Homo-oligomer: A and B are copies of this chain.
Amino acid sequence: MRKKQNVQEEPDDIYSIPAIADRAVSQPECVIPEAVVKRLPRYFRCLRGLLNNDVMKISSSELSDLTGVNAAQLRQDLKYFGGLGQRGYGYNVKKLYTSISEQLGVTKKYTAVLIGAGNLGRAIINSRLCEQRGVWIKAVFDGSPSVIGKEIGDRKVSDVAELRRFCRENKTDIAVLCIPADAKSELLGIIKDCGFKGVWNFSPCELDDCDAGAKVENICTGDSLSALLYRMCEDEREKE
């Protein structure tokens, strides 16, 4: 099994959004392969952790220990961010972090609305996850009269019937969907109208880009549990 250590979510991160002056100038020379893109968020977290601990340089083999990614693969991956490594020395952590942040859109400061102010919605607002990725949740909407008007995380919950108008008046990049399965069909039309660039979907109904008229990222919590159960079963089978 691959060994990974210390790739953590740092609770306090002074470096969460790089200052303009620090931004990398170089753009990746060509399209980044899918497999590399999937590893970027891990590098991002790891490098942020290093910066918070004032580590300024790192070699591919050290970063390999921290992330569990093979050192040779790491060097291949990091090539997509311009020549940030120096032979005999290693990589400049800050430059690397800045360059990857830029790729991941952290420096763009996207805006978002949260739709669905239930327990999950509250959990997302309270975790500072969105801020860490440069996403600012401007407003919260819900359909249930029992929550409309209440406050969550300093934001007053508005009626979802107001969503269309709100988005017309306030251009918003992202919709964070925390709604129950049955609310999907009624909402889909509204969401298309709002012209979001992205939808971060926690609801148990998978969406695709066509459904939403935007880039969609589904969080399939159930699939993650299934994967865990599979590996537990596999383990038991092996022990027999």
Chain A interface residues (CB < 8 Å from chain B): 1, 3-5, 7-11, 37-38, 40-42, 44-45, 68, 103-106, 108, 110, 118-120, 122-124, 126-127, 129-130, 132-135, 173-174, 180-182, 197-200, 204-206, 208-210, 215-217, 219-233, 235-236
Contacts and interface: CB of A to CB of B under 8 A. Distances in A.
B8 A204 contact: yes
A82 B198 CA distance: 40
A133 B229 contact: yes
A127 B204 contact: yes
Count of identical protomers in the assembly: 2
Contacts of A10: 181
B40 A129 contact: no
A136 B173 CA distance: 39
Given A119-B120, A119-B122, A230-B40, A197 B235 contact: yes
B1 A209 contact: yes
Contacts of A120: 119-120, 123
A123 B5 CA distance: 29
Given A1-B209, A41-B222, A232 B105 contact: yes
Given A37-B230, A105-B233, A217-B227, A206 B7 contact: yes
Given A215-B235, A217-B231, A219-B221, 7 more contacts: A4-B208, A11-B180, A41-B226, A104-B226, A197-B232, A198-B228, A198-B229
Given A197-B235, A217-B224, A223-B42, A229 B104 contact: yes
Contacts of A38: 227
A176 to B, nearest CB: 9
B133 A103 contact: no
B225 A200 contact: yes
Nearest to A237: B27
A232 B208 contact: no
Given A225-B133, A227-B217, A233 B8 contact: no
A215 B198 contact: no
Contacts of A45: 222-223
Contacts of A198: 228-229, 231-232
A204 B8 CA distance: 7
